[in-house]
């Protein structure tokens, strides 16, 4: 038995244990077990660019009274 702390998450397939320090839920945990998923991260420049686009969209929607 592992000493790692876990929590039980539930989806349509039922309960599954997820490490307590992870931010994802049951579906993501199942995906890790069922698909070859790497741990590569997006480059910081891509994350920053996405943030700029999202901020511009939010500011535009505020001006148009859609938020």
Secondary structure class of 56 (helix, strand, coil): helix
Residues whose CB falls within 8 Å of the CB of residue 20, separated by 6 or more in sequence, listed in order: 4, 5, 6, 7
Q: List Cα–Cα distances, 56 to 27, 45, 48, in angstroms.
A: 31, 17, 12
User: For residue 26, what pLDDT is reported?
Assistant: 98
Q: List pLDDT tens digits, range 3-62.
A: 789 999 999 999 999 999 999 999 999 999 999 888 888 999 999 999 999 999 999 999
User: Phi/psi of residue 44, each to 5°?
Assistant: -55, -35
Instruction: Please give the model's pTM, rounded to 2 decimal places.
Output: 0.54
Say if residues 15 and 4 touch (Cβ distance below 8 Å): no
The rounded distance, in Å, linking the Cα atoms of 30 and 4 is 18
């Amino acid at each position: 038995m592992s000493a790692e702390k876990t929590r039980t998450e539930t989806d349509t397939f039922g309960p599954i244990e997820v490490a307590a320090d992870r931010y994802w839920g049951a579906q993501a945990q199942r995906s890790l077990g069922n698909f070859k998923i790497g741990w590569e991260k997006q480059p910081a420049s891509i994350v920053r660019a996405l943030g700029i686009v999202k901020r511009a969209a939010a500011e535009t929607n505020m001006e148009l009274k859609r938020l």
